[in-house]
């Protein structure tokens, strides 16, 4: 599918993978509708893309009415939505025992409820145009780590959401995919490394290639290729797909011993760092709550 002249709605489009995917799609002739809660970041990306082919809308994915309004604005401006990328997502800090419950609930709201609201709002237009839905999940959907309970649970949930949606809309000419990435050099990952030295230690001690971080440029390329080919699965890097195939093995005692061998020291260290921070999320999300 050529994206030239198509309209793509991307949530979380103000930075990171969302913004980079928008740039690469625009280079291929797509119109972009970007939503985010950060007006300044949105304005910056829309300015790069050119206001004639990009629309930035401040909208909270946890509010269905706001997402419906965003789709209405996209339809008024560009005639409809051909592709939706449910990309907005956050992570929290802390073990199940110590994470701030409000932060846990916030992750679930944005990462699961937000995906539903985004897809629900855009789906009538996607069906009309026989378009494509890309739900952004993660490697964490099938290979988790200590301290990642809300994030991993949310990403497993939206992978299954995408699988179910595919069954419901394939006969209508709509294709549905899920995206699964390892560590990407985004604000989410950089903030965690900056806030929690233990997080950087945890990544560095993972067995390769799990310890590697990938650029947003490479991730954007994978997303664009997935959209153009209407893929059922998008992996970045490609080896993530291998881990999905061997998912049943990842929760065996042997595998968990390898990946989680440092949890006994790193989790108490991480929880202490979080207590000192006084928050269970990145500072950039504190004012969004």
Which residues are CB-neighbours of 131 under 8 A, at least 6 positions away? Answer: 6, 81, 82, 83, 84, 125, 174, 175
Does residue 155 fall inside a structural domain? yes
Q: Looking at residue 156, which CATH number applies to its domain?
A: 3.40.50.720
Output the pLDDT for position 206: 87
pLDDT tier for residue 286 given thresholds of 50, 70 and 90: confident
Q: What percent of the chain has pLDDT over 90?
A: 91
pLDDT tier for residue 287 given thresholds of 50, 70 and 90: low
Which residues are CB-neighbours of 101 under 8 A, at least 6 positions away? Answer: none
Structure-derived torsion over alpha carbons of residues 97, 103, 104, 106, reported in degrees to the nearest 10: 170
Question: Is residue 105 annotated as a catalytic residue, yes or no?
Answer: no
- Structural domain including 113 reads 7-286
pLDDT digits (tens, 9 = 90+) for 58-114: 999 999 999 999 999 999 999 999 999 999 999 999 999 999 999 999 999 999 999
Distance CA 124, CA 146 (A): 39
Output the pLDDT for position 167: 98
Output the pLDDT for position 258: 78
- Checking if the pLDDT of 262 tops 80, the result is yes
User: Which residue in this structure is represented by tokens 């799609």?
Assistant: 25
Does residue 104 fall inside a structural domain? yes
Question: Mean of the per-residue pLDDT values for the chain?
Answer: 96
Q: Taking residues 114-124, report their average pLDDT.
A: 98
Q: Taking residues 258-275, report their average pLDDT.
A: 90
Does residue 37 fall inside a structural domain? yes
Output the pLDDT for position 175: 98
Q: How many structural domains compose the chain?
A: 1
Output the pLDDT for position 288: 59
pLDDT digits (tens, 9 = 90+) for 153-177: 999 999 999 999 999 999 999 999 9
Q: Taking residues 38-55, report their average pLDDT.
A: 97
Distance CA 114, CA 120 (A): 10
pLDDT digits (tens, 9 = 90+) for 34-45: 999 999 999 999
Distance CA 127, CA 170 (A): 10
Distance CA 151, CA 149 (A): 6
Does residue 209 fall inside a structural domain? yes
**Annotated catalytic residue: which of 93, 151, 235, 285?**
151
Q: Taking residues 233-250, report their average pLDDT.
A: 95
Does residue 1 fall inside a structural domain? no
Output the pLDDT for position 207: 85
Q: How far apart are the first and last CA of the chain?
A: 38
Does residue 2 fall inside a structural domain? no
Model's pTM, two decimal places? 0.96
Q: What percent of the chain has pLDDT over 70?
A: 99
């Amino acid at each position: 599918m050529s994206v030239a002249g198509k309209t793509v709605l991307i949530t979380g489009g103000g930075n990171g993978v969302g913004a980079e995917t928008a740039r690469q799609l625009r280079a291929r002739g797509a119109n972009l509708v970007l939503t985010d809660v950060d007006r300044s970041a949105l304005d910056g990306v829309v300015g790069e893309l050119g206001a004639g082919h990009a629309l930035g809308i401040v909208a909270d994915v946890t509010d269905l009415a706001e997402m419906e309004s965003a789709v209405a604005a996209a339809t008024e401006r560009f005639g409809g939505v051909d592709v939706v990328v449910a990309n907005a997502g956050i992570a929290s800090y802390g073990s199940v025992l110590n994470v701030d419950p409000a932060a846990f609930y916030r992750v679930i709201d944005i990462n699961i409820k937000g995906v539903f609201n985004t897809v629900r709002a855009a789906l009538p237009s996607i069906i009309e145009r026989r378009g494509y839905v890309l739900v952004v999940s993660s490697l964490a959907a099938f290979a988790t780590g200590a301290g990642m309970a809300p994030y991993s649970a949310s990403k497993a949930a939206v992978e299954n959401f995408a699988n179910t949606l595919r069954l419901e809309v394939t006969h209508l000419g709509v294709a549905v995919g899920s995206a699964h990435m390892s560590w990407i050099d985004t604000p989410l990952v950089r903030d965690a490394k900056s806030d929690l030295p233990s997080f950087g230690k945890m990544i560095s001690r993972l067995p390769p290639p799990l310890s590697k971080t990938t650029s947003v440029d490479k991730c954007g390329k994978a997303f664009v290729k997935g959209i153009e080919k209407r893929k059922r699965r998008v992996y970045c890097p490609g080896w993530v797909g291998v881990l999905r195939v061997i998912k049943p093995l990842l929760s065996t005692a042997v595998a968990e011993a390898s990946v989680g061998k440092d949890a006994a020291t790193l989790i108490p260290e991480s929880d202490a760092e979080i207590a000192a921070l006084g928050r269970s999320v990145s500072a950039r999300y504190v004012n969004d709550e």
